[in-house]
Amino acid sequence: MTERAVVIGLGRSGLACARVLAGDGYEVLVVDGRDDALLREVAAALPGTVQAQLGGYDPDVVRGAAIVCPSPGVPWTAPELDLARTLGIPVRSEMSLVFERCRGRIVGITGTNGKTTTTSLCAAVIARDGRRVHLGGNIGDTILDRLDDVGSGDWVVLELSSFQLESVDQPRCEIAAVLNISPDHLDRHSTLAAYIAAKQRIVEHAVSCTVLGWDDPVTRAMAAASSAPVRFFGSALEGVDGATVDGDTVTIVEAGATEPVIPVADIPLFGAHNVLNVLAATAVGQAAGVAKSDIAAAVREFTAVPHRLQVVLDSGGVLWINDSKATNVDAATRALQSFDRPIIWIGGGHTKGVAPDELADAVAHAARFAILNGDTAAELDAALAQRGYGERAVVADQHSAVALAAQMARPGDVVLLAPGYSSFDQFRNFDERGSAFAETVRAIAAGRAR
């Protein structure tokens, strides 16, 4: 009798699980609480041995299954998963299946901010000397359904979210990196301590090397949890190995000796936080045995990842920047600190349970004008008013925010989309939000050019 697998969630991760489990010979049922035309189209394209149930499901759907695979958006404590565990049914996320099945050498990158850029940088650095590298995790295409193409000598560089890490029993990485920690996803993890614990799991299971942010006391303290050798990245390293900036040069520190890698001026990315991302990638490259010349070449050739301080348009003296990936306070603050010219800031969105005060402080300090929209516009508006910040407006949606910014922008200004919140009030994800921003900006510019 054919064994049955239940996959919860018809997103990218769920689709990958369904395809792979069907290939393993399971009879697969995919369930999703949503139901729309796009999902029906996706469901119709599933292999013949996969059935889809849209529009809701009961926790009892897991009964009789041989394996249950939840998407990252399903809380690890969801009733259907608790029931599966009670019944002795294995619960495996896409990422846990990756760790169980991957033949390559895994580099795992986590943290609150900078993950995507640093993961992409690390992949570029490791690939620069000709190694075969696969990029995945919480970035790009799913990796699970590409594992057949991964050889034992290949490197697999993964961006790993807290949602993904909490679902893996032993996230064993050849090289594990935690970049930084700031409050995020408290609506999912409830407490900052639980969020930190999810991130630290990658450190506890590192195999050959752990790379940690030196400037962040939380990540620095994680060194005590690592049985693997630790390298740090950050400013003014003291008595430790890793990567830092010495004067105006990215430098490797090894056993007290320093070796230059690349001038900071050659880094082709905005912001001091991106210097830290380069330092992290340098430390990872050092741990992977990449030559300094290859690290430098990979950094020089690197281009900004979409939706991360990405230049959309530079027209009429106004620079339009898409940082839709700035979905939390720390990321938005770093974006606001990345420019030495007047900023018109576009922000607001779906809350993650974090109060607006810290973000309001950053906006009041750095922005010439703030345009607020989305679910959190009212609370941001109130927080800015409390600070006596009057140069602000509340609009209905992001399209209206871009239109107002276009009216207000003067030569020399930066119009910065760095919302500080997730996108789920108006968009499916930050990619869609960033793409919509870029499309609106270009449409307005084209209309003026005619």
Q: What is the 3-state secondary structure (H, E, C) of 403-442?
A: HHHHHHCCCCCEEEECCCCECCCCCCCHHHHHHHHHHHHH
- Give CA–CA dist 229/276, Å, rounded: 20
Same domain, 83 and 184: no
Same domain for 108 and 255: yes
**Is there a binding annotation on residue 116?**
yes
Q: In the chain, how many domains are there?
A: 3
Of 272, 301, 330, which residue is a domain's last?
301
* 115 in a labelled binding site: yes
Using DSSP, how many helices (H) and how many strands (E) does the chain show? 16, 19
119 appears as a binding residue in the annotation:
no
Sort residue 114 into left (φ over 0), alpha (ψ -120 to 50) or beta: left
The pLDDT of residue 11 is 86
Q: Are residues 87 and 107 in the same domain?
A: no
Where helices occur in 222-352 by DSSP H, the ranges are 272-287, 292-301, 329-336
Assign 1 a pLDDT band (cuts: 50, 70, 90): low
Average pLDDT over residues 324-345: 90
Q: What is the mean pLDDT of the chain?
A: 91
With CA atoms as reference, report the closest residue to 98 among 140, 43, 157, 48.
Answer: 157
Single out the residue in 35, 58, 92 at which a domain terminates: 92
Residue 361's identity, in one-letter code, is D
Which segments of 343-425 are extended strands (E)? Answer: 343-347, 369-372, 392-394, 414-417
Q: Can you tell me the distance from the alpha carbon of 121 to that of 302, in angstroms, rounded to the nearest whole number?
A: 7
Per-residue model confidence (pLDDT) at position 186: 58
pLDDT for the residue numbered 183:
62
| Same-domain pairing of 348 and 370 | yes
Q: What is the CATH number of the domain that holds 372?
A: 3.90.190.20
Q: Which has more pLDDT, 310 or 418?
A: 418
Reading the block at residue 164, the tokens are 């993904």
Per-residue confidence (pLDDT) for residue 448, from 0 to 100: 64
**Pair (205, 277) in one structural domain:** yes
Question: The tokens 């990029």 sit on which residue?
Answer: 135
76 and 100 part of one domain: no
Most confident of 133-147, 303-317, 408-422: 408-422
Write down the pLDDT at residue 179.
95
pLDDT given for residue 449 in this prediction = 45
Residue 252 and residue 197 share a domain: yes
- 84 and 154 co-located in one domain: no
Residue 114 is assigned to a ligand binding site: yes
Single-letter amino acid code for the residue at 297:
A
In the predicted model, what is the mean pLDDT of residues 36-64? 89
- Find the domain containing 149 and state its range: 96-301
Is the alpha carbon torsion for 91, 26, 104, 129 positive or negative? negative
Q: Is 117 annotated as a binding residue?
A: yes
Q: Which of 65, 92, 119 is the last residue of a domain?
A: 92
Q: Which whole number is the average pLDDT over 92-101?
A: 94
Q: What is the DSSP letter of 181?
A: -
pLDDT tens digits for range 165-185: 888 889 999 999 999 987 666
Q: Which string of DSSP letters, residue by residue, matches 305-342? A: PTTSSEEEEEETTEEEEE-TT--SHHHHHHHHTT-SS-
Any bridge partners for residue 158, and if so which? 108, 136
Asked whether the predicted pLDDT for residue 312 surpasses 60, the reply is yes
Query: What is the CATH number for 179?
Result: 3.40.1190.10
Q: 347 labelled as ligand-binding?
A: no
Checking if the pLDDT of 104 tops 70, the result is yes
CATH number of the domain within which 65 lies:
3.40.50.720
> Same domain, yes or no, for 296 and 315?
no
Return phi, psi of residue 4, to 5°.
-110, 140
Q: Which sequence positions are flagged as catalytic?
A: 115, 138, 185
In terms of domains, do 240 and 337 share one? no
Helix (H) or strand (E) holding 96: helix 94-101
Residue 450 confidence class, pLDDT cut points 50, 70, 90: very low
Q: Is 301 exposed, middle or buried (0-12, 13-18, 19+ CB in 10 A)?
A: exposed
Identify whether residues 100 and 78 lie together within a single domain: no
pTM of the full structure: 0.76
258-264 contacts at long range (C-beta below 8 A, 24 or more positions apart): 259/292, 260/292, 261/292, 261/295, 261/296, 262/295, 262/296, 262/299, 262/300
Q: Which residues of 409-420 are buried (b: 16+ CB within 10 A; e: fewer)?
A: beeebbbbbbbb
CA 427, 430, 213 angle in degrees (round to 5)? 155
| 71, 76, 79, 80 alpha-carbon torsion, rounded to 10° | 40
Shared-domain flag, residues 129 and 46: no
Please answer whether residues 2 and 22 qualify as being in contact, where contact means their C-beta atoms are separated by less than 8 angstroms: no
- What pLDDT does residue 190 have? 65
